[in-house]
Chain A
Amino acid sequence: MIEPSLQSRRKFLQNVGYISVSFSLFGGCIGKADPAMASRVDYLGNLPGVMKQANKVNSWLEVLGDGRVRVLSGKVELGQGIRVAIQMVAAEELDMDLEKVEVHLAETGVTPNEGYTSGSASIKNSAMSVRYAAATARGELLRLASTKLNVPMESLTLFNGVIRSTANKKSVTFQELLKGAQIETEVTTPVRIKSKDDHRYVGKAIPREDIKKMVLGNQIYIQDLRFPGMVHARVLRPPSYRSELVSLDDSQLKNAVPGIIKKVVNGNFIAVIAEREYQAVKAERYLKMHSKWIIPEVFPEMEKLYDHIREIADEPENIRNDGDVKVTFEKRKTLKATYTKPYIKHGSMGPGCAIAMYDREVLHIWSNSQGIYPLREALAAMLKMDKGKIHIVSVPGAGCFGHSTADDAAADASLLALDYPGKHIRVQWSRTDEYSWEPYGSAIIADIEVSLTESGKIEAWKSDIWTDSHSTRPNSDPGTLLVARHLENPMDMQSRGYRGGGHRNGDPYYDIPNLQLNAHYYDGPLRVSSLRSLGAFANIFAIESFMDELADKAGKNPLDFRLEHLEDKRAIDVIQKVKDMTVSQMIAAGEGLGYAFSRYKNTDAYASIAVKVVVDRSKGLVSIIKMWAAIDVGEVINLDGIKNQTEGGMIQAASWTLKEQVKFDNVKITSTDWSTYPVIRFSDVPEVEVSVIDRPDQPALGGGEAAGPPTGAAIANAIYRACGRRIYNLPITPKKIFS
């Protein structure tokens, strides 16, 4: 459901007559009355994320006129289930039924500026901020009730929006206490939070209310949002990177296609606005056929991509240096391997879409951007507008797994809205444009060199990671928006974004006395940005593949070899758990069982993966039979959310590992649809089993990116166990197994 702010709600609802359906969820299905007040403990740690700045309760929650609570979070829903997790945390601290808590996600001017929804940080930052705000609100409401009812605090119980006194049997509701005001108390530590033993929701598997809407077609995605009088636009993209428009003959466009309202040309940006969506589709096709372009050769030879990367990379930057790798390597023969991962796509099921409307004062934008405040910065810079005059509402989108095309579509729509004020303009990207222009996950090379002691322990480890940027997300640089580069006065991207993501997990989590990590940054040919887990997928593929090779060299069982290099009990536990989950597996001829482990970012969630495959080497065919995960995200918020993310993370990573590679020729991207960029289908999908180790005493961490990185290596290791073939270069195609 779209939930605009109070300020914009009235206006919004007038405009969105079509979006009317919402129905109550699992009303009170978990836990009923809670008259005995749950015990509380002091939280003494730091305040999370932006709560250090946005530290007032009313930045995070409001009590509505009917006594329900609205939580405000700057994060967006991408199918990861953050909405329900935040709702659970707030309902828990306020002792309310879940259905009495609604969650308003990112909207400029309304919710806190929580930057991007990325890096598995929404639980750690946003949900925890909401926890402390809700706990503080509870304390303040009790204090107000004590005064109002003239009874001591100790005699009060608070449940489901009503505070009762056991002393004089009087009661008062939240809204009666506040009378339309909000709680402006600052959140300060210690915060009295509910004791985890008394949780009713947190840690349990709570169903998502949005899935009920989805099965009826009532979940409103950005693509589904509709306004009265809304018009439809399509953008004719250049045929390739750096193409220049030579000529455009649109003299017969209006005769050829009915319903054309307007054509907009600004440099290499060409768009058409029509009354009906399919008219815009046809108009774009027409313009494509009637345009001429200079199409330069901009890409290197794809087959030599990795050589090209080594040629263009900067001098290496040392990221970590423990002990003395160099001296150790001089003493012993070392083992070396190189692993590669190609460019891969986000591959969102829903191509980019956005709606914008300029009311001649404020530019309103509806977007599934992962960061509406940073998007506003970029738009303000591109449009040379005061950012106070740009209002962005976050609307759910199809899963996008990082910085995909949502922001670019918002930029397209904004340009058109300024050109054609007063109308809601909907821009929808085609699949081909999505696939030709989205920023990909960077290609990565990992060179690893290791020496083992005589007893077969790792003595020294050196990782050299070649990587492009891992975030070119919108910021104050307008060149982060695709369309800015195509305007008559083009704005190219000034910086190279966040390159540090490339060496994420490039240094093994194992206890190794001499350890060196170097990053070789390159500014590569393809547009790149954040893709789920950033460099961790490639780096863990390399590290965990090599761990298996090293175990073999040392003559050890691969899991025991890993355990010998770990002291962190939580790491040991996930490995032990996945070992237990697979202990009864029988391995037939042609089958193999492979394992891998990682701790995401080396600071966050722990995951250990096992994969069983069967390989037909004569045909090069790999079938995954089953995948297992043991995961530890600290304190679990929504158990089913973690399971769902972990299952999906494994399956998506299996797709990356076995199928995916962005292909290109000298002038353009050639992976332009689902046939030229195949992904996993049902026939390839194995069984999956997830075990979650709940640690209520540990900080809650995000789990969305934990399972993917070790999955790639576990598959490669399983294939090696099955057929003796070690694959170093992703994807693991039949040709590589066969040859």
Chain B
Amino acid sequence: MPKYILNINKTQREVEVESDTPLLYILRDNLELNGPKFGCGIAQCGTCMVLIDGDAVVSCTLPVSSVGISEITTLEGLADKEGKLHAVQEAFVKEQAAQCGYCLNGMIMSAVSMLNKNPNPEVVDIKKALQLNLCRCGAHTRMIKAVETAKNL
């Protein structure tokens, strides 16, 4: 089986997996990171999102062989070294923006990705940024509010 060295949360991690294995399975099953979730496996719901070089992408259909030396950030890697939460994480707690929270990883990743490019989004920009992410509990309005709060933190 081929070996891959992945840059995950500022650490190099080596894995030995079949080349077609999607990144999500490596993160969860091999590296035991629980941030990215399995929701559909077909890039339709956003629960598995990670940041690749700062952009939110779905990891459930992304073969490990195509990741290369890109910087991968998972939910676990958002807080700083001292454990201070990222503004988006802090805002989601502040606004209690979850019910079951299963989709939260993707929501936070999409929001961080957008704020990286647009630090001062309007509601319409936030909705657009989160459009690929599904939430079944109906916590959307709290999430929108959380992203608005995050931009001021």
Contact = CB atoms under 8 A, between A and B. Distances in A.
Given A278-B22, A644-B96, A644-B99, A232 B29 contact: yes
Interface string B81-108: 0000100011011001111111111001
A211 B101 contact: yes
A449 interface: no
Interface string A188-225: 00000000000000000001101110111111110110
Contacts of B104: 214-215
Interface in A640-665: 640, 644-645, 647-652, 655
B38 A428 contact: yes
B127 A682 contact: yes
Nearest to A428: B38
Given A277-B25, A278-B21, A650 B138 contact: yes
Nearest to B21: A278
Nearest to B97: A211
B99 A399 contact: yes
> DSSP majority for the A interface?
loop
Contact of A674 (B17, B37, B45, B140): B45
Contacts of B152: none
B134 interface: yes
B37 to A, nearest CB: 7
Q: How would you classify the secondary structure of chain B's contact residues: helix, strand, loop or mixed?
A: loop
Contact of A350 (B102, B127, B130): B102
A173 interface: no
Contacts of B47: 349-350
Contact of B96 (A80, A208, A220, A224): A208
A277 B29 contact: yes
A674 B46 CA distance: 11
A258 B140 contact: no
B79 interface: yes
A647 B32 CA distance: 34
A277 B28 contact: yes
Contacts of A277: 25, 28-29
Given A212-B93, A349-B136, A674-B134, A276 B25 contact: yes
A423 to B, nearest CB: 15
B82 to A, nearest CB: 14
Given A18-B32, A397-B100, A398-B102, A673 B25 contact: no
A674 B139 CA distance: 18
10 contacts: A215-B89, A216-B75, A224-B34, A258-B18, A347-B136, A351-B39, A397-B102, A398-B100, A398-B136, A680-B138
Interface of A: 18, 78-81, 207-208, 210-212, 214-221, 223-224, 226, 232, 258, 276-279, 281, 347-351, 396-399, 401, 428, 430-431, 640, 644-645, 647-652, 655, 673-675, 679-683, 685-688
Given A211-B96, A431-B41, 14 more contacts: A214-B92, A215-B75, A217-B36, A276-B29, A278-B22, A349-B47, A351-B38, A351-B40, A397-B100, A398-B136, A640-B96, A648-B99, A655-B138, A680-B138
